[in-house]
Amino acid sequence: MENKNKITLLDDSGKEIDFEIIATLKVEENEYTILSPIDEKDEGVVIFKVINIDGEEVLEGIEDMEELDQVIAAYEELFEEE
């Protein structure tokens, strides 16, 4: 059975890493996804901006710290509501 809350990404060395999709949210008209590694010992999360390239959703890293702070604040607000 396929887990719809799972995504597999490649790291810099080409190794496949499975992530659980923790949340997707919109901040200032941009969509973001928050992922947690499934099999890794690290319990941290990874945040990506979801962009559309030629009709396909692509995950892009966030380099702007202000943008990242806004996404983290929106996620924390969402988490507090649950």
Using a pLDDT cut of 90, give the percent of the chain over it: 66
pLDDT digits (tens, 9 = 90+) for 24-64: 999 999 999 999 998 867 678 899 999 999 999 999 999 99
- Lowest-confidence pick of 15-19, 72-76, 78-82: 78-82
d(CA 43, CA 66): 23
Q: Taking the domains of the chain in order of start, what are their residue ranges?
A: 6-81
Listed residue (62, 2, 3, 10) closest to 33, CA to CA: 62
d(CA 66, CA 3): 33
